[in-house]
């Protein structure tokens, strides 16, 4: 088993040191925290106990939260798929007027999601929201607190979670072989039959995975239930946060986290089994690029266009309102009324000019940047070891870094709290709870599995002749990695850095458990400022934060996916030949 880790007749001690470091990392931050949750749940006074489970079974609050979470997950499995499939079809499959503009609106959740999106919906539909004020002026005795509870949570999360459809289902639709559609048309099939019997069946594995992801997102929902659910509507994740704050009820939090973990494992098993199944594929030797299809029925065409632009309003209105209100004075924000004659930069001057307010923004940028860079760096090394040394140790190493996929992020956070509320020898007796570094560790842990998966896929797609040419020139494995392999997978690495950075920048779930009081993150600050009892000044700060974060996220995504990262350079990198390897080795 160790033979492939040898270099000549000598052990490659550099690689062994790296493996020892990863073994320490895995035990300290992937295994021990999870064992700590299990210990808190089932071990009391040195013996096995089920008292924590009994406490949960007798807690009406906990049982209601569990019921609400599963209800949200089941409903989202339908609503997210219905909306997600529709918006992809009208932008990529059918000829719909203004498809490019619609696509931008539907993809806005990639840069305007999470806690920002919830804050935006409150600005539109909340007690003093612009839509609420409009309805209040039309309907006598209208209840201004209408946007609350399960319906509000489902509404917000339905449109927030379609970003996965715009990423994965959209790519699948664009890869359709148009000859299959033409063949069905030649056989006399109508458009509905073609859609339901030819087109959609090709995406059964993709849609099954997206359904599981929607259910998983609803089950572990945190920000939406807290911000728009109201005091009377609680789900599992907010309850875990509440119970974890008190030492006496941490065992209940552990049971609820364990329930989420078991549910996630079952869902991952379903996804894995789904991936192994066959899918519908065209057997044509030369695929034809898809051409958009015109809807022949005039009535259906009209209804589709009306629904398309209604969804455009739903997706874009929160963003427009956030941007416009960010330039309004406090009085207009409090009233929920836009008056362009009172346009001002006062809010931006306060945020960008106030060191205490700007500190929160800088803190999140530092946390997100460090975590994203560290994750990508570590996972490049892990993926390289896994793909280069196909041994049992390498396989165990890979599976160990997939552990965070088996448990929700809240389980990770609770595990770090329970596991490191005291010092241990492998961390030199340092207590992590209450430190600045614990949140950074949680960020890194949470982003490792997906990063490793994508980087490994990128490495497996490389031409093996590149590494062989480097080895024939006498280059060491490390130099080959740095000079040849990393430049080739750089586009993937940058894309993963951007996705991780944008996701962590406004994180609330992990931050709510682990943030340091002297280093509040944007997620925590935005949540506080969105409270109904918060001052108008706080809400104005939230609006500026939202706009600035959208700009940053858009720029980052543009630099990686758009024209900012020259596509010719990406194509050139992907076509490195042996002569270029020789030139790199001579540098």
Specify the pLDDT at position 476: 65
Spatial distance between the Cα atoms of 32 and 447, rounded to a whole number of angstroms = 18
Specify the pLDDT at position 566: 47
In this structure, is the dihedral angle defined by the CA atoms of residues 482, 488, 490 and 496, taken in order, positive or negative?
A: negative
Query: If 0-12 CB within 10 Å is exposed, 13-18 middle and 19+ buried, where does residue 435 land?
Result: middle
Specify the pLDDT at position 249: 79
Report helix, strand or coil for 47: strand
Spatial distance between the Cα atoms of 418 and 243, rounded to a whole number of angstroms = 13
The contacts of residue 526 (CB under 8 Å, 6+ apart) are 115, 116, 119, 506, 508, 542, 545, 546
Specify the pLDDT at position 32: 93
The contacts of residue 88 (CB under 8 Å, 6+ apart) are 165, 166, 169, 170, 173
Spatial distance between the Cα atoms of 87 and 158, rounded to a whole number of angstroms = 12
CA distances from 35 to 127, 251, 253 (A): 44, 13, 15
CA distances from 405 to 63, 452, 576 (A): 25, 11, 34
Spatial distance between the Cα atoms of 329 and 336, rounded to a whole number of angstroms = 11
Q: Give phi and psi for 431, each to the nearest 5.
A: -95, 120
Specify the pLDDT at position 276: 56
Task: Please report the domains of the chain, with CATH numbers, ordered by start residue.
Answer: 21-58+356-518 (1.10.3720.10), 59-279+291-318 (1.10.3720.10)
Report helix, strand or coil for 190: coil
Composition of the chain by helix, strand, coil, percent to 5: 75, 0, 25
> Do β-strands 10-11 and 6-7 pair in parallel, antiparallel, or remain unpaired?
antiparallel
pLDDT in tens, the chain (587 residues): 555 555 444 457 778 888 999 999 999 999 999 898 888 878 777 777 788 888 888 888 889 999 999 999 999 999 999 999 999 999 998 999 999 999 999 988 888 888 888 888 988 998 888 888 888 888 888 888 899 999 999 999 999 999 888 877 888 888 787 888 888 888 888 888 888 888 888 888 778 878 888 888 888 888 889 888 888 888 888 888 888 877 777 788 888 888 888 887 787 777 666 655 544 444 444 567 778 889 989 999 999 999 999 999 999 999 999 999 899 888 888 777 788 888 888 888 888 777 877 888 899 999 999 999 999 999 999 988 888 887 888 888 888 998 887 777 888 888 899 899 888 999 989 999 989 999 999 999 999 988 888 888 778 767 666 666 666 666 666 677 777 777 877 887 888 888 888 889 888 889 988 999 889 998 888 888 877 676 777 888 888 888 988 888 888 777 766 544 444 444 444 444 444 444 444 44
Spatial distance between the Cα atoms of 289 and 175, rounded to a whole number of angstroms = 7
Give which of 538, 514, 511 is closest to 526, Cα–Cα.
Answer: 538
Report helix, strand or coil for 506: coil
Spatial distance between the Cα atoms of 206 and 260, rounded to a whole number of angstroms = 23
Spatial distance between the Cα atoms of 153 and 221, rounded to a whole number of angstroms = 9
Q: How many helices (H) and strands (E) does the chain have?
A: 32, 4
Question: Tokens for 65?
Answer: 């939260």
The answer to whether the CB of 102 falls within 8 A of the CB of 308 is yes
CA distances from 502 to 112, 315, 371 (A): 10, 19, 11
Spatial distance between the Cα atoms of 179 and 288, rounded to a whole number of angstroms = 6
Report helix, strand or coil for 43: strand
Query: What secondary structure does DSSP assign to 171-240, as a single string?
Result: HHHHT--HHHHHHHHHTT--HHHIIIIIIGGGGHHHHHHHHHHHHHHHHT--HHHHHTS-TT---HHHHH
- Write the DSSP symbol of residue 92: I
Give which of 458, 437, 521 is closest to 29, Cα–Cα.
Answer: 437
Question: Tokens for 367?
Answer: 């946390």
Question: Tokens for 130?
Answer: 């612009």
Specify the pLDDT at position 586: 45
pTM of the model: 0.79
The answer to whether the CB of 198 falls within 8 A of the CB of 176 is no
Give the distance, in angstroms, between the CA of residue 107 and the centroid of all CA atoms in the same chain: 14
In this structure, is the dihedral angle defined by the CA atoms of residues 92, 98, 104 and 106, taken in order, positive or negative?
A: negative
Spatial distance between the Cα atoms of 166 and 428, rounded to a whole number of angstroms = 46
The contacts of residue 175 (CB under 8 Å, 6+ apart) are 290
Spatial distance between the Cα atoms of 184 and 323, rounded to a whole number of angstroms = 47
In this structure, is the dihedral angle defined by the CA atoms of residues 291, 297, 302 and 307, taken in order, positive or negative?
A: negative
């Amino acid at each position: 088993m160790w033979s492939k880790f040898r270099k000549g007749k000598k052990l490659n001690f550099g690689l062994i040191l790296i493996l020892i470091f990863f073994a320490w990392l895995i035990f300290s931050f992937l295994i021990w925290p999870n064992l700590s949750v299990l210990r808190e749940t089932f071990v009391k006074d040195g013996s096995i106990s089920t008292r924590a489970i009994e406490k949960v079974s007798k807690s009406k609050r906990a049982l209601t939260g569990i019921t609400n979470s599963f209800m949200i997950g089941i409903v989202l499995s339908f609503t997210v798929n219905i909306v997600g499939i529709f918006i992809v079809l009208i932008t990529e499959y059918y000829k719909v007027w203004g498809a490019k503009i619609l696509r931008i609106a539907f993809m806005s959740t990639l840069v305007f999601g999470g806690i920002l999106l919830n804050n935006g919906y409150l600005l539109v539909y909340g007690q003093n929201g612009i839509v609420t004020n409009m309805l209040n002026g039309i309907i006598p005795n209208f209840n201004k607190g209408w946007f609350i509870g399960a319906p509000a949570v489902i509404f917000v999360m339905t449109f927030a979670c379609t970003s996965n459809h715009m990423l994965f289902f959209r790519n699948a639709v664009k890869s359709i072989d148009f000859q299959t559609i033409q063949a069905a048309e030649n056989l006399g099939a109508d458009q509905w039959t073609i859609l339901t019997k030819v087109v959609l069946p090709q995406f059964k594995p993709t849609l099954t995975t997206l359904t599981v992801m929607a259910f998983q997102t609803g089950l572990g929902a945190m920000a939406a239930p807290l911000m728009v659910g109201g005091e009377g509507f609680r789900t599992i994740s907010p309850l875990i946060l509440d119970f974890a704050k008190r030492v006496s009820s941490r065992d209940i939090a552990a049971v609820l986290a364990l329930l989420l973990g078991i549910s996630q494992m079952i869902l991952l098993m379903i996804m894995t089994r789904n991936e192994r199944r066959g899918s519908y594929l065209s057997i044509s030797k030369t695929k034809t690029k898809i051409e958009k299809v015109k809807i022949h029925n005039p009535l259906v065409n009209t209804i589709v266009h009306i629904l398309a632009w209604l969804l455009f309003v739903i997706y874009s209105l929160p963003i427009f309102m956030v941007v416009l209100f960010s330039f309004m004075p406090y009085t207009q924000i409090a009233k929920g009324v836009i008056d362009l004659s009172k346009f001002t930069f006062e809010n931006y001057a306060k945020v960008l000019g106030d060191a205490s307010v700007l500190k929160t923004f800088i803190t999140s940028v530092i946390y997100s940047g460090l975590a994203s860079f560290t994750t990508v760096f570590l996972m490049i090394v892990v993926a390289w070891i896994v793909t280069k040394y196909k041994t049992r140790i390498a396989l165990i190493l890979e599976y160990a870094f997939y552990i965070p996929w088996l448990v929700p992020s809240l389980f990770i956070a609770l595990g770090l709290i329970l596991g490191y509320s005291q010092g241990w020898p492998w961390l030199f007796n340092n207590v992590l709870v209450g430190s600045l570094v614990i949140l950074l560790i949680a960020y890194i842990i949470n982003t490792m599995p997906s990063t490793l998966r994508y980087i490994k896929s990128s490495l497996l797609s490389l031409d093996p002749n590149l590494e062989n040419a480097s080895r024939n020139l006498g280059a060491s494995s490390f130099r080959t990695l740095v000079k040849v392999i990393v430049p080739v997978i750089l586009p993937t690495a940058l894309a993963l850095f951007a996705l991780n950075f944008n996701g962590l920048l406004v994180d609330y779930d992990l931050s709510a458990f682990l943030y340091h009081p002297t280093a509040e993150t944007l997620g925590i600050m935005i949540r506080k400022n969105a409270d109904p009892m918060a001052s108008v000044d706080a809400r104005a700060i939230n609006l500026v934060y939202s706009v600035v974060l959208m700009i940053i996220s858009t720029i980052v995504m543009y630099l990686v996916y758009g024209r900012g990262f020259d596509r010719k350079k990406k194509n050139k990198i992907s076509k490195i030949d042996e002569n270029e390897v020789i030139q790199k080795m001579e540098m």
